[in-house]
Structure formats: C-alpha cells, structure tokens
C-alpha cells in the first residue's frame, strides 16, 4: 500500500495562499512548563524538533504572555526575548523545513494568578485566585498594543505564525460573555460591543505582522457555560475575526471553569467535531477541530465528514512524537496512544509541575531521558507484565538487550486488565495493544501462564533479573473480614462474585471510585456513545442553546444499586483523585445517588452488616455486600526468595513501592531504570 494512502485526507496539503501546510495534522498548544524552566528554550527545541521529525504539519507552542499582567509565565515583548526563541524555531525548521511553527499568545486575564490581573469587569472567576482589576480605556489600549507587539516579536523570532487564544475564560473570552463583562461603555453591553476587544486584537495583530504570516484565532465554539455564548454570537464573532484577517479559526470547547468534561478519558473520541462542522459551513477560512482525536483513523473520519480542514492533536503528540509518521508508513499499530488520563500532562500543569506523559515518560524530558543503544547486550529476565514490567522490557529490548518477559497470567497488562473494564477507561486497551505490538516487534520472548520461582530461573543463564510482580490488595485487619458478604475489588471487577443491591465500599481511593462507577453503571458507556455522553453531562449538541448547556439537565442512568463509598479520613471524599478529572468522577457518582462518607471507623462485619463508628456514634450498615478497596501492599515474595538465594535482582513498580503507586510512576520508574541497564 502506498505511504499514507489509508489516510488520504490527513496527508493532503493545505494551501493557505502565501504558504502551504504539508498535511492536516496539527500539534495543538499545550503549556508544558518548559517555557518557564532554566534551559527551557533548549529543551523546547528538542521537544518540538522531535515532533517535527515525527511528521506533524504544524505545531502551536504553549502560551506565551504579551505582557506581565497577562500571566506569570514566559513573556515575549522585546527583541532580546525574541532572540531566545530563535533556538526553538530554528530547531523545528532544521528538523523539517516544511513544518510550520506558530506561537500561541496567551493572556489569561482574570486567571493570571497575580493581584495585577485584569479583565473587562472586576468579576472573580470560580477558579481564579484574585478578583481582577477592571481595565479602563487606557488599560484596554495598552493590552491591544501589547498583543500587536507580541505578534511582531514572534515574527522576529522566526515563527511562521501566531495563535491568539480567545476562549477558555482567558482575557478575550471574558469580554464576550455578559457574566464577566458588565461594562456599559463601547466594550460592553450589546454583543457587537462585547466582541469589539477580541476583534480589535486580531485587527491589530494582522496589521503588526503583515499579510504573509499565519494568524489563528481560537474561538470557544461551545463554551459550556450556563448563560454563555449563543450560537449566532459564535458565528458573528467568527465572521468578524475572519474579516479582519484571521488565516485559520481553531475551535475550542469550554472555559476552564465549566463543569463539563471535554478531554478526559470518559469523553468519546472526536465528540465535539460536529460543532466545528456547523461553524465551518458559515466561514471561508479553514477550521481546526480538536478534543479526543487520538488516532489517525479518527482524524481521517473527521476530515471525511467535512467537520474541519485541520485536526489538532496535542496530548497524542506527547504520548507519541511519531504518531503522524507511523500513520504515514502504515505502522498505526505501533502508535503509543494517548489514553486521555490527564495524569502527567494537565494534572501536572494545574499543580505547577513540568508536564510529561503517563505512557511516554520521555515527553518533555527529551534531553535527559534517552534510550541509547546498550554498550553490551545482556540477557534480562523481567518478571511481571504489568505496566512496570512492560515498560522495562520494551525499553531494554529497544536498547539491544535480550529480554524474556514472564507473567503468571494469561495476558499482559497486570492491573491494567482491571482498569480497562471500568466504563470510561476503554482507552486503556490501546496501551496494551501498543505493548503487545512492541513485544512482537522488538523480539521480547514473552512467557505467559508462567509463575516464576527462583528454581524456574535457575540455569536459564540470565545476567539480570528485574522483579515487576506488582501488588497484592490490602486485607484490613478487621473482625469478619472473611465473612461471605465481603468481596475483594479484583473479584468485584472480574465479576467472579455476585454483588448485591445494597453495597458499602471500604476505601475511596482511585480503585474505590472505579468500583463504584462499575457497579452503579447502566447501559452503554458514555465514552463510546456520544448521545449517552451528551445526556450525562447536559450538553445539547443539536440545538446548541446558550453555551451548549443552558437549561439542559444532566440525566445519568444507574443500575439502581444503593452504594455508600467510605473512608477513614475525615477529608472530602475523592480528594486524592486527579486534579483535572477528580471532579468528574465525584459528580457522576453523586448524580447516581452514591453516598460518600468520611471519618468512618470500621468495627466488624457480621450477619447484621458492616459495623462502624462515625463521629463517636455506632452505626450498622445492613448491606448485602462489602467491597474492600483498601489500598495495596508490594508483592515481593519472589524478590525476597531470589535475594535469599544470592540472585541479584532489582525491583520496579508496585513491587518496589505500593504506596501511592499508579501507572504513571510504574512506567516512569521502569523506563528510567531500563534506560541505564
Ligand atoms: P501490576 O500491574 O500489578 O502487574 C504485576 C504483574 O506481575 C501481574 O500481571 C502479575 O500476574 C505478575 N506476577 C506477579 N507475581 C508473579 C510471578 N511470581 N511470576 C510471574 N508473574 C507474576 N493507575 C493509573 O495510573 N491510572 C488509572 O486510571 C488507574 N486505574 C486503575 C483502575 C483499577 C481498577 C486498578 C485495579 C488499577 C488502576 N491503576 C491506575 C493502577 C495501575 O494499574 C497500577 O499502578 C499498575 O498496574 C502497577 O503496575 P505494576 O507493573 O507495578 O504491577
Ligand atoms: P489509594 O488511592 O491509596 O486508596 C486506598 C483507600 O483505602 C483509601 O481510601 C484509604 O483511605 C483506604 N485504606 C487504606 N488502608 C486501609 C485499611 N487498613 N483499612 C481500610 N481502609 C484503608 O489506593 P487504591 O484505590 O487502591 O488505588 C491504587 C492506585 O491506583 C492509587 O495510587 C491510584 O492512584 C491508582 N488509581 C488511579 C486511578 C485514576 O483514575 N487516576 C484509578 C484507580 C487507581 P482511608 O485510609 O482514609 O480509609
Ligand atoms: Fe494522554 Fe495521559 Fe499522556 Fe496526558 S498523560 S498525554 S492524557 S496519555
């Protein structure tokens, strides 16, 4: 099959008149944190150049502020600062002269996180740290000039264009919505007045950079706000922005404060492109669409439907820098797919950590974590094919070691085989598909259904043994823990034991929440059915009321089970969940009627039920089933036996440390060890 022919639209060039994009695959903007660290320009250069070599047509950088009040991160407003960016633009153009790189201009407005933050009106965002300062006429003029100056500096720095973000609850978008723009002058009131600022920004940016420079406007095509923008306002704004010189319009689908998930793993693939499609019909300029487009066939289908002209993939390019070239060469089964977990990317951004990727720990670590060929090839036994063992085995094999990977189970994956059964976590299957392919491609000798003992390894001639045997569930030391109504989470997830109509879940960590999701779930998963997803989150894609959500009540189906999720801590239940996704799990379960209880002391379990003490009072929960999700302990018996027998072995993943273990840490630790093996 000729290269790329499975995706003819994705690999067709796009003529922009003064320039041309080599294909329709775009790496969308993501703040990685590299913008703000020492040596960040060199690290960004390596990060983006790797993606340019990976075949993407255009790259949009993370957001850069036009002035100090726009946000605390990197700023571009002087020729000296522009000179620092040259290393990035030159690295990308050297990697592939056909690849375009545009810089995003980000003015976070009321979300800037400093007392100097500014906005059209002094309205504090639900997620903002400060009440913004209302801009006066001179302040507005300054912001307009700073945008134009920033764009001119980006051109000086060698970028091929800029993207102006006009969505997400950042400065430009706060002018558009009545809730955040309460002005009565020419910048507020009617929609014509409210859109004056963003349109004027775009007019001045175009004026500053001249005609032969890409200028993209990112619009909130559906802002997901009660009382947000009406559809005719979205179209009016897009047309006005087009008229003042936007080369491309990029559709975005929410404000950060909106209570609708738009990129988490529970969102169906390409769920929002239908909104871009509607806008595309009203405009002449090319449209970019985005959100949960993580594989080339999804991108091609979006283009085939005519939903957009370009497809943006931001997180998928963290997960696999070579996504596009693998699609081009017909190697899509080798793509390390973004599973939309947010654990190492957005959760890091919102907790002030450098971004990376759960499935690819090299993301944003390109200069420090390399998988160079080993100086001497050795025979390595890896015991356990969970995320840690899989990562170790494949990185070591890629470096030239001869690896044998053992697992006691009949399939690879370890606990990922439990995770992938949870509705909303279907994407975890992709990680297992990737590892299966890599094991095959790299010639890892896979031995399934093999319980490893020191005796089994004897005489096999391994130079090194890596123990990745994972964890065992913690069994609380509690009277009645072996009572027939008690079920462990593994049996509950695998359906090996019946679960009654009334259930108490002991332990409200990630697994407690996942089990509650599984046993209260009814019908198809919203992650694979757009209509179910829309109903669950109160989105009206078809009629697009104000914000896409105004007046639409979420409707969540439930299995009808009466479930109580408990923990001993008195903190809010679910506090340990991911920063950017935890709220979606809490809200879903609350809507299904799951009760959440903190500060619970477990006393015993007997025929009367689960006996507890809460706030000094005894309380018995007469439930049919008690599911134990009380954390985990490292499974180290093999390691102990090996070391006792004098065999040198190393530990990775849950076997090394079970406390607060997740797949992000397991894969990262294993990859780093294998990188120096
Ligand atoms: P494991 O995955 O436990 O793998 C260990 C493997 O070793 C197993 O396959 C086992 O069969 C094998 N083994 C053990 N002893 C032997 C032996 N003697 N011989 C041969 N083989 C042996 N993490 C996240 O980051 N994000 C999530 O969203 C997430 N969701 C989860 C949902 C659920 C329901 C569960 C249960 C876990 C979830 N996790 C999640 C946690 C994640 O799966 C674990 O952190 C990760 O699997 C740990 O990897 P590991 O390789 O150390 O161990
Ligand atoms: P966890 O998040 O550490 O939660 C363990 C739960 O058990 C806590 O609620 C804890 O709270 C309780 N507990 C601990 N010791 C107990 C005891 N002796 N008796 C009774 N209760 C006890 O671990 P997990 O839920 O097992 O998840 C394992 C790992 O997988 C986690 O680190 C998590 O990050 C990861 N994971 C992530 C996700 C995700 O969506 N990101 C989903 C699933 C799993 P109290 O001590 O207050 O009772
Ligand atoms: Fe995707 Fe998760 Fe990696 Fe983020 S951390 S890029 S969501 S796989």
pLDDT per position as a tens digit, 571-621: 999 999 999 999 999 999 999 999 999 999 999 999 999 999 999 999 999
pLDDT surpasses 90 at 117: yes
Most ligand 3 atoms within 8 A of CB, residue of 29, 31, 269, 318 to mutate = 318
Residues, the chain, total?
A: 677
Q: Span 84-97, mean pLDDT?
A: 98
Phi-psi region of 210 (alpha: psi -120 to 50; beta: other; left: phi over 0): left
392 in active site:
no
More confident residue, 634 or 39: 634
pLDDT surpasses 70 at 25: yes
Kind of pairing between the strands at 600-606 and 609-614: antiparallel
Indicate the pLDDT class of residue 4, thresholds 50, 70 and 90.
low
Predicted pLDDT at 36: 86
Kind of pairing between the strands at 25-27 and 632-634: unpaired
Q: Is 583 exposed, middle or buried (0-12, 13-18, 19+ CB in 10 A)?
A: middle
Predicted pLDDT at 238: 98
Q: Give the CA distances from residue 579 to residues 233, 347, 400, 575, 670, in Å, rounded to whole numbers and listed in that order.
A: 32, 5, 38, 9, 24
Indicate the pLDDT class of residue 73, thresholds 50, 70 and 90.
confident
Q: Span 473-485, mean pLDDT?
A: 98
pLDDT surpasses 80 at 2: no
Predicted pLDDT at 1: 41
Residue with tokens 């806008």: 279
Q: For 485, list phi and psi in degrees, rounded to 5.
A: -85, 0
Ligand 1, CB within 6 Å, residue ranges = 341, 343, 383-389, 406-409, 414-416, 418-419, 422, 451-452, 468-471, 493, 510-511, 514, 635, 638, 653-654, 661-664, 666
pLDDT surpasses 80 at 130: yes
Options 170, 392, 489, 602, the catalytic residue: 170
pLDDT surpasses 60 at 103: yes
Residue with tokens 């109504």: 485
Indicate the pLDDT class of residue 259, thresholds 50, 70 and 90.
very high
Sequence-distant (≥ 6) Cβ neighbours of residue 217 within 8 angstroms: 163, 164, 166, 198, 202, 238, 241, 246, 248, 249, 250
DSSP conformational letter for 466: E
Predicted pLDDT at 365: 97
Predicted pLDDT at 55: 97
3-state SS class at 637: helix
pLDDT surpasses 60 at 231: yes
Most ligand 2 atoms within 8 A of CB, residue of 351, 488, 507, 667 to mutate = 507
Q: How many angstroms does the Cα of residue 597 sit away from the middle of ligand 2?
A: 15
Predicted pLDDT at 3: 56
Q: Span 349-356, mean pLDDT?
A: 94
Calculate what percentage of the chain has a pLDDT beyond 70. Answer: 99
Assigned token pair, 590: 């609350």
70 near 150, Cβ under 8 Å?
Answer: no
Q: How many angstroms does the Cα of residue 576 sit away from the middle of ligand 2?
A: 9
Predicted pLDDT at 123: 97
- Average model confidence (pLDDT) for the chain? 97
């Amino acid at each position: 099959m000729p290269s790329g022919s499975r995706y003819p639209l994705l690999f067709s060039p796009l003529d922009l008149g003064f320039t041309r994009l080599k294909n329709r695959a775009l790496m969308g903007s993501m703040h990685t944190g590299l913008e703000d660290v020492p040596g960040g320009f060199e690290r960004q250069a390596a990060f983006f150049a790797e993606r340019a070599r990976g075949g993407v047509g255009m790259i949009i950088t993370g957001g850069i502020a036009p002035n100090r009040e726009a946000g605390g991160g990197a700023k571009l407003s002087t020729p000296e600062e522009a000179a620092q960016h040259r290393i990035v633009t030159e690295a990308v153009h050297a990697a592939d002269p056909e690849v375009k790189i545009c810089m995003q201009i980000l003015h976070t407005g009321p979300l800037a996180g400093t007392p100097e933050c500014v906005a059209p009106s002094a309205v504090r965002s639900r997620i903002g740290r400060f009440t913004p300062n209302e801009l006066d006429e001179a302040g507005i003029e300054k912001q307009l000039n700073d945008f134009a100056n920033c764009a001119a500096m980006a051109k000086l720095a060698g970028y091929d264009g800029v993207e102006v973000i006009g969505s997400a609850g950042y400065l430009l978008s706060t002018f558009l919505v009545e809730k955040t723009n309460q002005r009565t002058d020419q910048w507020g009131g009617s929609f014509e007045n409210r859109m004056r600022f963003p349109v004027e920004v775009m007019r001045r940016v175009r004026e500053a950079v001249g005609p032969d420079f890409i200028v993209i406007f990112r619009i909130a095509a559906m802002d997901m706000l009660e009382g947000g923008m009406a559809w005719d306002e979205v179209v009016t704004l897009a047309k006005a922005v087009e008229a003042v010189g936007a080369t491309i319009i990029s559709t975005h689908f929410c404000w950060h404060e909106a209570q609708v998930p738009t990129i988490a793993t529970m969102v169906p693939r390409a769920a929002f492109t239908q909104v871009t499609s509607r806008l595309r019909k009203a405009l002449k300029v090319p449209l970019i669409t985005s959100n949960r487009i993580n594989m080339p066939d999804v991108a091609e289908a979006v283009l085939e439907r005519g939903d957009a002209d370009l497809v943006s993939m931001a997180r998928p390019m963290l997960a696999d820098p070579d996504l596009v070239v693998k699609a081009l060469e017909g190697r899509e089964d080798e793509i390390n797919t973004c599973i939309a977990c947010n654990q190492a990317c957005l959760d890091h951004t919102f907790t002030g950590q450098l971004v990376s990727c759960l499935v690819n720990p090299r993301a944003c670590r390109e200069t420090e974590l390399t998988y160079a060929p080993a100086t001497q090839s050795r025979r390595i036994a890896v015991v356990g094919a969970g995320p840690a063992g899989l990562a170790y085995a494949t990185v070591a094999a890629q470096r030239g070691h001869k690896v044998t990977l053992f697992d006691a189970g009949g399939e690879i994956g370890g606990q990922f085989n439990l995770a992938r059964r949870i509705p909303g976590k279907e994407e975890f299957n992709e990680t297992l598909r990737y590892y299966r392919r890599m094991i095959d491609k790299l010639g890892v000798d896979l031995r399934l259904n093999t319980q490893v003992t020191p005796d089994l390894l004897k005489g096999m001639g391994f130079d090194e043994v890596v123990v990745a045997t994972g964890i065992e569930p913690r069994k609380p030391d509690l009277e009645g823990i072996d009572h027939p109504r008690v079920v462990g989470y593994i049996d509950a997830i695998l359906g090996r034991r019946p679960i009654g109509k009334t259930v108490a879940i002991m332990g409200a960590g990630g697994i407690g929440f996942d089990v509650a999701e599984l046993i209260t779930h009814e019908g198809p998963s919203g992650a694979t059915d757009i209509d179910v997803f829309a109903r669950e989150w109160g989105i009206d894609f078809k009629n697009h009321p104000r914000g896409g959500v105004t007046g639409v009540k979420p409707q969540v189906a439930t299995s009808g089970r009466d479930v109580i999720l408990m923990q001993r801590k008195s903190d809010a239940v679910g506090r340990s969940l991911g920063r950017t996704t935890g709220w979606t799990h809490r809200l879903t379960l609350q809507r299904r009627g799951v009760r959440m209880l903190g500060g619970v002391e477990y006393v015993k379990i007997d025929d009367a039920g689960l006996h507890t003490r809460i706030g000094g009072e005894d309380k018995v929960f007469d439930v049919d089933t008690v599911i134990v999700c009380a954390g985990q302990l490292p499974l180290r018996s093999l390691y102990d036996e090996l070391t006792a027998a004098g065999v040198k072995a190393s530990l990775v993943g849950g076997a090394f440390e079970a406390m607060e273990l997740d797949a992000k840490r397991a894969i990262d630790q294993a990859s780093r060890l294998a990188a120096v093996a």
